[in-house]
A and B are shown apart, each in its own frame.
Chain A
Amino acid sequence: MKRLLTLVFCLCTFAGFAAEPTEGGKKEEAFNPGEMILHHIGDSHEWHWFSTDNNHFTSYLPIIAYRPGKGLSVFSSKKLAAEVHLSEEETPSRKRAAGGSHFEGPEYDGLALREGELVTTDGSKVYDFSLTKNAVALLGSGLLMLVVFTSIAGSYKKNAGRAPKGIQSFFEPIIIFIRDEVAKKSIGPKYERYMPYLLTVFFFIWFNNLLGLTPGAANLTGNIAVTFTLAILTLLITLFSSNKNYWGHIFNTPGVPKPLLLIMIPVELIGVVVKPFSLMVRLFANITAGHIVILSFISLIFIFKSPAVAPISLAFGLFINVLELLVAILQAYIFTLLTAMYIGGAVEEHHHDEEHSLDLQTGHADSVIPSPAAH
């Protein structure tokens, strides 16, 4: 019985039977993989869940636009939505009617969408504060984190002094890991002040990376604006908690002969900015690249228009998807670790020795990853 059910399951889910249904009277558009991939990893004013042959299941998100002189306009993006699957005869007339500047869909209240961007029909300035897909995903994941972590905090209060149960017992090892391995080792004795930020950054990136891998999800951490914000927060926290020792290391790097300081100072100053910049690009590129690879493997099936490609394509896609699960937590850990190291560098107290060169007694140079707690 179990083998029969297994066989039925395998038959039903075997993707090799999937075939493109040929349309009768409708003109097929050529499959454009670049456009499909960019649409999936990019932001959008509507949340497109999935499409069947004739129906597109989309949630139309609100557009909130401010125009100086006209004020705030709030309306559903359905009014600006492009009507897809138009045949070639119908589209040219609409494009001509819109003044030849090729809006995606109908215009409403003087606003229209051009290549996903909100523009005015007469070219004046508009500030787009819309709740786009990524903004809604951000609010949603924020709510999820709020629910999860307030329940953990509540159960800590309830189970004071007793063994942890439930969701608390799942997250406790991770929180302890961040506290002991990341914060204490990199920041040293003053780590407690920065624990909230480190924990928030870790779980925010991890949850959003994982959520982005689910079908129909928004690619939030692959949005460079989001990673830019996280990097800016790291930079601000580093700068605001820096002490004289930190700036002394930048403007007067110890152990460096005086003439070389002329090169070292600009390099160190650029380094202050480049380090958060690299955090931003690393997270953005890792997550976006993973999504692009998975989507490319699926597009292979549509490019070759043959179900025979499906087993290989799905096998590779599955492998990359599982790898992305590892990348999700690894990138969150790396971001948190590097943030902790930069903060540690900023709050580091002055060491006993003046020269950070070869230690004659023990014979080993300063380690690449400084651990102020060890001194």
Chain B
Amino acid sequence: MLLSLLLQIANATGLAVFGAAIGAGLVALGAGLGIGRIGGQAMEAIGRQPEASGKIQTAMLIVAALIEGLALFAVVVCLLISFKL
């Protein structure tokens, strides 16, 4: 029943916008997974060697920003689709 409701909404707003919405959700999922992984590994590394925590933190922030940049590429594409540019 939920699926038929979803398909009705898709029909009303247009398939492209529906695709863009699903895409944006998938992007968030992917970015969350990636940054979560790097955060987890960083925590582990700091736990093993607390003296290196400064370097690890810096590297973690850099990688998180790179992953986030990639996620925002995809968000920009979704926005372009939903505004039909």
Kindly identify which residue among B58, B59, B61, B72 contacts A286, using a CB–CB cutoff of 8 Å.
B72
Chain B's interface size range is: 10 to 19
- Which residue in chain A gives the minimum CB-CB distance to B71? A285
A281 and B62 form a contact (CB under 8 A): no
Kindly identify which residue among B58, B62, B66, B75 contacts A289, using a CB–CB cutoff of 8 Å.
B75
> What 0/1 pattern do residues 243 to 284 of A give for CB contact below 8 A with B?
000000000000000000000000000000000001001101
For the complex, give the distance between the alpha carbons of A143 and B70 in Å. 33
Q: Which A residues are in CB contact (< 8 Å) with B72?
A: 281-282, 285-286, 289
Kindly identify which residue among A278, A282, A285, A330 contacts B61, using a CB–CB cutoff of 8 Å.
A330
Interface centre among B58, B61, B72, B76 (most CB of A within 10 A): B72
A334 and B73 form a contact (CB under 8 A): no
Q: Which B residues are in CB contact (< 8 Å) with A337?
A: 62
Q: A330-B61, A334-B62, A337-B62 are in contact. Are A278 and B75 (CB under 8 A)?
A: no
- Which residue in chain A gives the minimum CB-CB distance to B64? A330
Q: A330-B65, A331-B65, A337-B62 are in contact. Are A281 and B73 (CB under 8 A)?
A: yes
Q: Which A residues are in CB contact (< 8 Å) with B47?
A: none
Interface residues of B in 61-85 (CB under 8 A from A): 61-62, 65-66, 68-69, 72-73, 75-76
Chain A's interface size range is: 10 to 19
A292 to B: closest C-beta gap in Å: 8
- Which residue in chain A gives the minimum CB-CB distance to B69? A282
B76 and A334 form a contact (CB under 8 A): no
Interface residues of A in 317-347 (CB under 8 A from B): 330-331, 334, 337
Q: Which B residues are in CB contact (< 8 Å) with A281?
A: 69, 72-73, 76
Q: Which A residues are in CB contact (< 8 Å) with B65?
A: 282, 330-331, 334
Q: Which B residues are in CB contact (< 8 Å) with A330?
A: 61, 65
B7 to A: closest C-beta gap in Å: 24
For the complex, give the distance between the alpha carbons of A337 and B58 in Å. 11
For the complex, give the distance between the alpha carbons of A151 and B66 in Å. 35
> What 0/1 pattern do residues 278 to 304 of A give for CB contact below 8 A with B?
100110111001000000000000000
A184 to B: closest C-beta gap in Å: 14
B34 to A: closest C-beta gap in Å: 15
For the complex, give the distance between the alpha carbons of A281 and B65 in Å. 12
Q: A285-B76, A289-B75 are in contact. Are A278 and B62 (CB under 8 A)?
A: no
A166 to B: closest C-beta gap in Å: 28
A285 and B69 form a contact (CB under 8 A): yes
Kindly identify which residue among B58, B59, B66, B73 contacts A285, using a CB–CB cutoff of 8 Å.
B73
Q: Which B residues are in CB contact (< 8 Å) with A282?
A: 65, 68-69, 72-73
- Which residue in chain B gives the minimum CB-CB distance to A330? B65
Q: Which A residues are in CB contact (< 8 Å) with B76?
A: 281, 284-285
For the complex, give the distance between the alpha carbons of A281 and B66 in Å. 11
For the complex, give the distance between the alpha carbons of A282 and B59 in Å. 18
Interface residues of A in 144-201 (CB under 8 A from B): 181
For the complex, give the distance between the alpha carbons of A284 and B58 in Å. 22
Q: Which 9 A-B pairs have the closest CB atoms?
A: A285-B72, A282-B69, A334-B65, A285-B76, A281-B73, A286-B72, A330-B65, A289-B72, A289-B75
* Chain B residues packing against A (C-beta within 8 Å): 58-59, 61-62, 65-66, 68-69, 72-73, 75-76
Subset of 16 A-B contacts with CB under 8 Å: A278-B73, A281-B72, A281-B76, A282-B65, A282-B68, A282-B72, A282-B73, A286-B68, A286-B72, A289-B75, A330-B61, A330-B65, A331-B65, A334-B65, A334-B66, A369-B59
